[in-house]
């Protein structure tokens, strides 16, 4: 599937806000791939499609969680839409014929990470968090660290994320701890 065809699909099927976010994540993922030695075209495409399932309601997410046999971490039990990355990878492979595992994995794990993240996984995970329209305390520091060192950026974001999630009384997905323990 070409970038153009996917952009047309996303424009027609996502809200304007989500579509524009996806375009920014695609562009930033491509730029980061050039800096950190990943494939810029794969990074662009993964960024483009990362949120293809983000606007599904909880009922539909639960359906796909069953269908795709997605592990029901307590954080997902509490918030089925948290699994939108894993659902997106399932949809991209079954409905769009995308078979590049490195792209599917970057999409699959973009929200909570996984053990042994690849450079492409890290790029899409971080691009989603720091795309130009995001705004939160310490984001400018985080943006600098992302350019220097992807692993350090993930550690830095984790501390912010834990504080943010505990404020919202949300549970950190187990994969996020696995990601941190295996970063290299
Ligand atoms: N339960 C969770 N476990 C681990 N990481 C999470 C969890 N919820 C959110 N995150 C991380 O925090 C970021 C911001 O979360 P949130 O504001 O809920 O999502 P978004 O702004 O993408 O809609 C996500 O992109 C993800 O990296």
CA dist 184 and 179 (Å) reads: 10
pLDDT at res. 74: 98
Residue 171 per-residue DSSP state: P
**Could you identify the atom of ligand 1 that is nearest to the CA of residue 161?**
12
Residue 56, CA atoms < 13 Å, CB-side half-sphere: 23
Q: How much distance in Å is there from the Cα of 173 to the middle of ligand 1?
A: 10
Q: Residue 173 has what DSSP assignment?
A: P
Number of the ligand 1 atom closest to the C-alpha atom of 172? 3
Q: How far is residue 27's CA from residue 50's CA, in Å, rounded to a whole number?
A: 13
Q: How high is the ipTM of this complex?
A: 0.95
pLDDT at 80: 98
Reading the block at residue 156, the tokens are 């830095």
Query: If pLDDT is split at 50, 70 and 90, which confidence band does 153 have?
Result: very high
Q: Report the chain's mean pLDDT, rounded to a whole number.
A: 98
Q: Is the CB of 176 under 6 A from ligand 1?
A: yes
> pLDDT value at position 104?
98
Query: Which is nearest to 38 in space by CA: 120, 106, 103, 102?
Result: 120
Q: Phi, psi at residue 143, to the nearest 5°? A: -60, -40
In the prediction, which pLDDT does 145 show? Answer: 98
Nearest atom (ligand 1) to Cα of 128: 25
Instruction: State the fold for domain 3-181.
Output: Hypothetical protein af1432 (1.10.3210)
Q: Where are the domains of the chain?
A: 3-181
The predicted model gives 141-157 an average pLDDT of 98
What is the rounded average pLDDT of the residues 150-160? Answer: 97
Q: What local confidence, expressed as pLDDT, does residue 85 receive?
A: 99
Query: For the segment 27-80, what is each residue's pLDDT rounded down to a tens digit?
Result: 999 999 999 999 999 999 999 999 999 999 999 999 999 999 999 999 999 999
Instruction: Indicate the pTM of the whole model.
Output: 0.98
What does the block give as tokens for 154? 């993930």
| pLDDT tens digits for range 64-77 | 999 999 999 999 99
């Amino acid at each position: 599937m070409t970038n153009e065809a996917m952009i047309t699909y996303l424009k027609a099927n996502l809200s304007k806000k989500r579509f524009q976010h996806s375009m920014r994540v695609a562009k930033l993922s491509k730029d980061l791939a050039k800096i950190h030695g990943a494939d810029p075209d794969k990074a662009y495409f993964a960024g483009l499609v990362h949120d293809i399932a983000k606007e599904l309601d909880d009922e539909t997410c639960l359906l796909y969680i069953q269908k795709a046999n997605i592990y029901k971490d307590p954080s997902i039990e509490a918030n089925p839409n948290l699994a939108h990355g894993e659902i997106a990878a399932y949809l991209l492979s079954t409905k769009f014929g995308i078979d590049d595992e490195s792209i599917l994995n970057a999409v699959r794990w973009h929200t909570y990470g996984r053990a042994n993240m690849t450079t492409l996984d890290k790029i899409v995970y971080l691009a989603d968090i720091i795309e130009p329209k995001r705004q939160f305390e310490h984001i400018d520091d985080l943006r600098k660290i992302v350019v220097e060192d992807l692993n350090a950026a993930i550690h830095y974001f984790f501390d912010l994320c834990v504080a943010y999630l505990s404020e919202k009384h949300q549970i950190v997905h187990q994969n996020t701890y696995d990601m941190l323990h295996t970063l290299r």
